[in-house]
Structure 1
Amino acid sequence: MSQNLILAKQWCIAALLLAIGLSSHGCTDSASVSADVAVPLSSLTVTPGTLQPGFFANTTSYAVNAPTSAASVTVTAVPKDITTIVTINGTVTTQRSVSLGAPGSITTITIFLESQTGGETTYTVNVTRLLSSDNNLSALTVKVGTTNQTLVPDFDVDILDYTVNVDDANASSVTVSATKSDPNATIVINGQLTSSGQAIIPIGGPGAVTPVTIEVIAPNGSKKTYGITVNHLSDDNNLKDLKVEPGPLDPLFDKGTLSYTVNVATNIDNVTVTATLQNTAATMTINGQGTSSDQARDFPLGAAPSSLDINILVIAPNGSPNTYTIKVNRAAPSSNTNLSALLVTADPLNIPINHPVDLSNPQPYIVNVTTDVLIVTVTATLEDTTATMTVNGQGIISGAPSQLITLGDPGSDTPIIIEVRAQNLVDTRTYTIMVHREDPPPPPPPLP
């Protein structure tokens, strides 16, 4: 670049001197100017390239910058007098291809003109083959061992930033291979110069993120930086928590325990499962349904008795799976027709008198009340509150008094029938109470 500036500066000085008529002094190192050369050219071109300064017959020294891709240039020198003999680098010709040196080199081209009368003039062109500005990569790969990892996005010379997801939980390093477009460029990976374009980069354990920078320096010094973010994907496929409502889980939840049982009552027809991921970058399905962490899922149960398997599949960021299983057992309907307590209350509207019934006694249960008792109530308590019952055909609630029951005449027995139907609607049991109303007292003896 500095040479280009010098040449441009020298051309400007030469042009200024020409403008004020100083034809014999100036930038003699790059442009020789004469008021009237002996044997002039009418034109001079170098392809590819541009003469510096622009062609002027009396200017005999020039500079040309040729692109780095040019292995040669074509020089065309046309004399004003067609009888003039033109020699380009020793070959008599008005046009010649001249090979250039390596990028960065300067090749001097001499054009000698000789007229028929013996006059001579020499023009000189210094051709600089520019250093390459190519700071591109032509290929970029990342491997774990011998396995290629996927670049995201796919490599493109103009895309500078990439991501690589490493799913091998045991990987401790990646091999980065960068191929330079220009073999004369240099590559620096994570600050280390590498002639091969290859570097082994240590990476952290699962969950770690490792940045990789690849700096490409063109022969002319221009730089371009490519970046790779290496994500060592986590192998965490565990749950942090697991709940089932109604529960509880058996055994209690532990991330290392994969199988659980939940026993629910026969009247439960639905359970709700809530699973919490330990690593929220993992994915999860519950019985095939995509589910996010802490998202509740409802599952209907079959008719009692029944069992339902609930499978929770957790897939770690690196793809490794782990399955938790819950077996939900819905109990069969109860066959319990027992009473836990039975009470007869005499004269409940006035002065109630309670008569507890001993259920261990044989039936019918005998309850004796005084002759003045006209009505009673019965309070029956179910052992299993899912059962139902009636007293003398009228439905009652467990633990609540029945309707009023009218007793027969004094001295009579009034039966009370309690029928219990189990939850399964199959099993039944009948309890019978016999309430005996005492005879009235005998009349007093007549007065003497």
Structure 2
Amino acid sequence: MDCKQTGEALPANDVTTHRSVLIDGKNLSLRQGTGVASYARSLCDNLMAMGDDVHILYGEDISRYPNPEISFFDVHAKRRIETLPRLVEYVRGILAPPLPWALDFANSPLVSAYSERLPSANMYWNAPGLFDYPRGLLTRGSFASVENVMSATVAHWTYPVPLKLRHAANVYTLHDLVPLKLPDTTLDNKKSYFNLLQRIIEDADLIVTVSTQSKRDIHKTFRIKDEKVVNTYQDVQIPETLLVESEENIAIALRGLYGLEIGNYLLFYGAIEPKKNVGRLIEAYLASGITLPLVIVGKDGWLMERELYLFNRHQKEREPRIIRLEYVTRPQLVYLIRGARGVVFPSLYEGFGLPLVEAMLCGTPLLTSNHGAMKEIAADAALYVDPYDVSAIRDGLRKIVKDGGLRAELVSAGRARATDFSSENYRKRLAAAYGSLKLTT
């Protein structure tokens, strides 16, 4: 999908504009990845490919004494104030935002091992407790203003945080408005969340979002000029080595790792939470009579107990047909996607929906919801169901399993549709968005 299709104008000379961009590491620092973390990694990779300088700012509770590398990479460390220097930093953080300082990992052999947390960048920075500090600032009517020690011209916050970088253009990505659109599916304080977004919208130089649906929702919920909200979509990257791996090797891996036969299971992946609609999916699957296993990949999320009620009861049967995997590596997930008869993702609402494009890119038939941004993203490359109707999901599952002609059509349409979310197209949209900013030099 190019800029003409999305309605965003591309400045003719902006591709060559050089910027110094700060990206927040709030989600990148998580031990298990999220969709926002994937977005941040992709953003870093693409900005680097566009020739921009990229700085990543973490908020890890670590000290620079004697060596920050020890604490940053020690996943077993207990985070607590235990030395005088850290106590000084902690007290300073109460009074004002912590001052970022450089993390020098140039000679560390761990950088490649922890590439999920350390994507491509020119420099890494840390400000201990940065993303915890601003709690309560909204009640005082102000954001935390972060010192621009890295001399960035743009700060791109990939998640709504009450922070802004001094002497820079501040861009915020709002992926969706799930807490406000589906208030019963999250544990957020909805009033605080609304106030946070309201303040971000007032102060931001630009709001970036990832679908026309999300842009429409933002305009319906908040009073904001149309040109201040830009839909860039996002790119979806799967290493070529995983996409060209032979079916024989995938079949061997699936059988050895999970006892699964290629083409003979259905796959859902995502966090186990109400928005993902796992409870209705399980109910529809159990009512369908399908004998192929349903594989559910995803970590526990909020309010997951009710989503897994039928799953837990089903596990007591002699031969349960539902397999749950809480965590798999990225290569293993790609193997699971490529080996599935279909990816089933009847989410209640998505701002974008990474599994949609990943399934299409892998050449796997897709069943998804007709709500949120799903129809916009998948277009004619998916079988759509009403996510609130268990019988509709049940019938959709039967169709995706039994109708080989339909699956072939979806695979063909999916491969074509996935090209719209290439890195090349994403960089054009990103350049257009950044080109609208007034940058200080």
Q: Same fold (TM over 0.5)?
A: no
- Decide which structure has greater strand share: 1
| Larger-Rg structure | 1
| Bigger RCO of structures 1 and 2 (CA < 8 A, at least 6 apart) | 2
